[in-house]
């Protein structure tokens, strides 16, 4: 009888960790090799490992001496993940500009659009994130012809490695006609 009790006790001691592991494994969904339609990889990743961040973009127009003459700011909040966060987000702005005719009255309107998109956000380490950024900005070129306004579009696209809590210029473009420079800089901060 004692041997039976000992064997039963040993079997329970060895089986208990297996039962706990089985319960723990069933609580977390495992990521399938192929995601079902409409499912996101984020649904299978633990929320506790997400790093919520604020992205502060500043688009500066500089004159030929490097002085800021125009600024546009864009801000967004998203999260980064060690396995990556692939969803895309964007911030858009539209300016509606009235154009005056030769008689001094409003003859027509034109729209100037600005858009910043970001995606594929990864946590590299506790002080760095990597992401893809796409930027587009339209500006009105000075001209005497008010009937047919000339707009210029600057577009940028690339991957950046950003230190957290440090502002960094991520794109820069020279305007050959006016000797102005457009710069897009980014500041990534943690959201608490």
User: Is 170 within 8 Å of 185 (Cβ atoms)?
Assistant: yes
Write phi, then psi, for 13 (nearest 5 degrees).
-65, -40
- Ranges 62-71, 129-138, 147-156: which has the least confidence: 147-156
Strand partners, 114: 93, 137
63: CB partners within 8 A, 6+ apart:
69, 179, 180
- Pairwise pLDDT comparison (41 vs 142), residue with the higher score: 142
Q: Give the gyration radius of the chain's Cα atoms.
A: 27
Tokens of 133: 């950024």
Helix (H, G, I), strand (E, B) or coil at 4: helix
Q: Classify strands 51-62 and 68-80 as parallel, antiparallel or unpaired.
A: antiparallel
Q: Are strands 51-62 and 181-190 parallel, antiparallel or unpaired?
A: antiparallel
Encode pLDDT of 94-150 as tens digits.
888 887 777 778 878 888 888 999 998 888 888 999 999 998 888 777 777 766 777
Share of the chain above pLDDT 70, in %: 73
Burial of 64 (0-12, 13-18, 19+ CB in 10 A): exposed
Q: For residue 26, name the pLDDT band (cuts at 50, 70, 90).
A: very low
What is the model's pLDDT at position 25? 45
pLDDT of residue 157: 93
Q: Which residue has the higher pLDDT, 148 or 42?
A: 148
Residue 9: predicted pLDDT: 60
Would the CA dihedral through 102, 105, 111, 112 be positive or negative? positive
User: How far apart are alpha carbons 188 and 192 in whole angstroms?
Assistant: 13
| pLDDT for res 33 | 64
Distance CA 30, CA 174 (A): 49
The b-or-e profile of 6-43 (16+ CB within 10 A means b, else e) is: eeeeeeeeeeeeeeeeeeeeeeeeeeeeeeeeeeeeee
Most confident of 125-139, 157-171, 178-192: 157-171
Instruction: List strands edge to edge, sheet with 168-174.
Output: 68-80, 51-62, 181-190, 168-174
Q: pLDDT at position 88, please?
A: 85
Q: What is the pLDDT of residue 162?
A: 94
Whole-structure pTM over 0.85, yes or no?
Answer: no
Q: What is the mean pLDDT of residues 2-21?
A: 61
More confident of the two residues 105 and 20? 105
């Amino acid at each position: 009888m004692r041997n039976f009790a000992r064997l039963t006790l040993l079997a329970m001691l060895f089986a208990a960790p297996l039962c706990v592991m089985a319960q723990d494994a069933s609580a977390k969904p495992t990521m399938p090799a192929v995601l079902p339609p409409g499912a996101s990889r984020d649904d299978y990743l633990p929320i506790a490992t997400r790093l919520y961040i604020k992205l502060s973009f500043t688009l500066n127009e500089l004159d030929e001496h490097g002085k800021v003459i125009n600024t546009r700011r864009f801000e967004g909040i998203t999260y980064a993940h060690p396995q990556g966060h692939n969803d895309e987000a964007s911030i858009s702005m539209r300016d509606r500009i009235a154009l005056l005719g030769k008689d001094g009255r409003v003859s027509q309107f034109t729209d100037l659009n600005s858009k910043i998109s970001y995606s594929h956000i990864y946590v590299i380490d506790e002080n760095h994130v990597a992401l893809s950024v796409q930027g587009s900005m339209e500006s009105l070129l000075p001209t005497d012809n008010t009937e047919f306004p000339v707009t210029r579009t600057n577009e940028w696209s690339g991957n950046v490695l950003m230190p957290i809590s440090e502002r960094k210029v991520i794109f820069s473009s020279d305007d050959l006609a006016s000797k102005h420079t457009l710069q897009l800089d980014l500041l990534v901060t943690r959201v608490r």
